[in-house]
Chains A and B, each alone.
Chain A
Amino acid sequence: MRVLLIEDYPPLLKSVRQGLEEAGYAVDATADGTEGLWYALGNDYDVIVLDLMLPGLDGLEILRELRAKGRQNPVLILTAKDTLQDRVTGLNAGADDYLVKPFAFEELLARIRVLIRRNYREKSPVLKIKDLRLEPASQQVWRGRRQITLTSREYALLEYLACRAGEVVSRSDIWEHVYDFHSAGSSNVVDVYIGYLRKKIEQPEKPPLIHTIRGRGYRLGGPA
């Protein structure tokens, strides 16, 4: 899952970025409003974490601009403005959630997960595809009773496929949602990681979970 972080206080930007990356998200981060809008319009982010008081372009202006252009990416406002009026204004401008600084990092992660789940129309905090089970909160994966250990990147890839289980997901979609702006390489990397995933989750005695749809991409589980 790919997250855009727009926050103008450098130490906060740095730590949130690190925390999100360690939680398996692909993170693009910027301290400037104008640059933030440019990022947001250029990529399909799963969540945008937005500060309100920004140099260059105000957070609310970014939000309004995004919504005016028809972009529906979930936006979480992260700000020191805590009055009721501020919250209402933020939510009315099209924000999906509002978190006041200072905040618990765990809560930020949980709220981001909720936004992602909602975005992919999932209600349950656990993703299930046949006997494959993913728990985004703890990033744990089971196949049957066996727990599977995945790297952050592998987990991120599997979670994205699981969120869109039954759909054919293109390489470029995967590239856009699992890798951040600064990732090296190209969408071929995706094939390599699909290979790693297959080795870890497929079991020879059971039918395959990850299907390759030639010329179009991959699908997790049977057709929807």
Chain B
Amino acid sequence: MNPSLRTCLSAGMIGGVALLLLVFDVVIYTSIRSALEHQFDSALLSTARMLSAGVEMELSPPETETEPGHQDEIAGVDFEFDVQMMPEFHRAEHPAYFQLWRQDGGVAARSASLGGDDLDRFAGLDTTPEFRSLVLKNRRPGRAVGLQFLPLLEDEDRPAEPAKDHRLTLVVARDAGQMQSHLLFLRRLLATGTLGIMLLALLATVLVVRRGLKPLQSLSAAIAAVDESDLSGRLETGPLPIEIAPIRERLNDLLERLERSFNRERRFTADVAHELRTPLAGLRSTLEVALSRDREGPQYRASLRDCSAMIRHMETSVGTLLTLARIEAGQVSFACTSIGLAERIVSCWRPFAEKAREKGVRLENRVPAELTCQTDPDYLALILTNLLENAVTYVNPAGDIQITAGCTGPYVEIAIANSGCTLSPKQAAEVFDRFWQGDPARSKTGSHCGLGLALVQKIVRALQGTIQADIDNAGRFTIRLRLPAGPPDAVPGE
């Protein structure tokens, strides 16, 4: 399973806060510790300096050098140590310690608190003091400073000569328990604080993430609420953050396209249903009525003839509907060639010539013989056949049908007009609607299903042409058809 956005965001935020707090803690702790140590060390160093200032060296003959038994006064080195001034080296609880060594390693002096024990001997180079942490004699933590120095010379008559051999080493150690307990307190404080902040951060993260993801959840709920049987609704989520709002817009766009496509599908289904149900109803009722009792042969034959006509009607409807659906779905490809228009009109007119003669209709074909257009011959034939059939069907007896054509810019314009139209000029645009049946005469023939002009319009548009109908007050119905004269690509898209 993919990690959830909530988990990623929460983990990222908590991790970030934890890292920041850790860095903060380390910086705070180290700086406070170094400040405390620095303070401690300064005090330690000043004690050591005071001690060293009390050391005087007597340059006496070597025989006077050893005088055991006196702790504070060792031969050659006079150590003036005032207990009153520095009681810390004598007190019983948490005492301080010092030890003084000569250059040769011999102990020149040590504090009473040490008893007979030694401190570690160390010192920085020359006069630079060195500090160390250590465990004191009483097992408590301590800190010590070690330094080398040249004591004052006791003999005032002789000038002091700086001699390396006269250098002494002093180590002073002091109880650091209090500082350590301060640092321990600081560590606990930081740990508690960090833990508390982490808990608060966790809580805040959960709340913030939940709140931040709420728009996504509401979007998701809105998507879940979309009903596949009714796509007319759009995602309504109230105000969304600018990062998510475009998602809703894109989804709504998608829904709209889906809805259009579904509606097209539904309309097609409804059309098919209507176009097929009616003749099916006719077939069924004709057959059931015919079978309902014994009849004479001619009656059966009449019923069968009716059935046969209805089936032909259904075939035409199915073919037309399929063509319409294919064109709407863009599944039709056109093979465009150059076509002589006048010639094509003559061949499309042929099936209707007989009917026109019967009605006494006159045809005027005024299309120039040399006029050509670049289009698909089969579909052009379909268009012309439909338009001519309409003209023949709706023209008044002894009326006339007129076909004219010419070139205008990149288009060939064809006009097919017939007299005797009973529609009002306002109804002209409606003739392209599916199943619009303006004339009751249509149903008498049973062959027109109100799809012809809808089909023609679809084909013309697919061929990058235009078609319009108009009716003048004299009852003249004219269809104006514009088709590309050249190759389709050369024409700007409609």
Contacts and interface: CB of A to CB of B under 8 A. Distances in A.
A101 B278 contact: yes
Given A9-B278, A9-B282, 12 more contacts: A8-B440, A10-B443, A11-B286, A11-B306, A12-B279, A15-B286, A15-B289, A22-B292, A31-B444, A55-B440, A55-B443, A101-B277
> Which of A8, A16, A80, A106 has the largest number of chain B CB atoms within 10 A?
A80
Nearest to B277: A80
Contacts of B439: 55
Nearest to B313: A11
Interface residues of A, number: 29
Nearest to B276: A80
> Which 3 pairs, one residue from A and one from B, show the smallest C-beta to C-beta distance?
A101-B281, A80-B277, A19-B289
Given A32-B440, A102-B281, A11 B289 contact: no
Contacts of A16: 285, 289
A150 to B, nearest CB: 16
A100 B270 CA distance: 13
A102 B278 CA distance: 7
A17 B283 CA distance: 14
A31 B289 contact: no
B274 interface: yes
Contact of A9 (B289, B435, B446): B446
Contacts of B283: 11, 102
Counting chain A CB atoms within 10 Å of each CB, the highest count among B288, B309, B435 belongs to B288
B440 A105 contact: no
B309 A11 contact: yes
A38 to B, nearest CB: 14
B274 A53 contact: yes
Interface string A109-122: 00000000000000
A103 B284 contact: yes
Given A22-B289, A105-B289, A11 B282 contact: yes
A8 B444 CA distance: 8
Contact of B293 (A8, A22, A82): A22
Interface residues on B, range: 20 to 34
B437 A80 contact: no
A11 B444 contact: no
Given A53-B435, A80-B273, A105-B292, A9 B443 contact: yes
B280 interface: yes
Interface in A4-44: 8-12, 14-16, 18-19, 22, 31-32
B277 A15 contact: no
B293 A10 contact: no
Interface in A74-118: 78, 80-83, 100-106, 108
A14 B306 contact: yes
Nearest to B305: A11
Contacts of B277: 80, 82, 100-102
Contacts of A100: 277
19 contacts: A10-B443, A10-B446, A11-B279, A11-B309, A15-B282, A19-B285, A53-B274, A55-B439, A56-B440, A80-B277, A80-B278, A102-B277, A102-B280, A103-B285, A104-B284, A104-B288, A105-B284, A105-B289, A108-B285
Interface in B278-323: 278-286, 288-290, 292-293, 303, 306, 309-310
Contact of B288 (A11, A81, A83, A105): A105
Contacts, number: 91
A71 B438 CA distance: 28
A12 B280 CA distance: 9
B442 interface: yes
A145 to B, nearest CB: 26
B289 A12 contact: no
A73 B317 CA distance: 35
A106 B288 contact: yes
Interface in B326-377: none
Contacts of A11: 279, 282-283, 286, 306, 309-310, 446
A83 B440 CA distance: 26
A83 B277 CA distance: 13
Contact of A55 (B280, B437, B446): B437
A110 to B, nearest CB: 13
A16 B444 CA distance: 16
A186 B284 CA distance: 36
A113 to B, nearest CB: 15
A206 to B, nearest CB: 33
Interface in B432-470: 435, 437-440, 442-444, 446
A137 to B, nearest CB: 14
B454 to A, nearest CB: 15
Given A53-B274, A80-B274, A105-B285, A9 B279 contact: yes
Contact of A82 (B273, B292, B309): B273
Q: Residue among B278, B286, B306, B446 with the most chain A CB within 10 A?
A: B278
Interface string A44-57: 00000000010110
A8 B278 CA distance: 10
A19 B285 CA distance: 8
Given A22-B292, A56-B440, A82-B273, A12 B281 contact: yes
Nearest to A35: B440
Given A22-B292, A53-B274, A53-B435, A31 B443 contact: yes
Contacts of B290: 15
Contact of A101 (B280, B286, B435, B437): B280
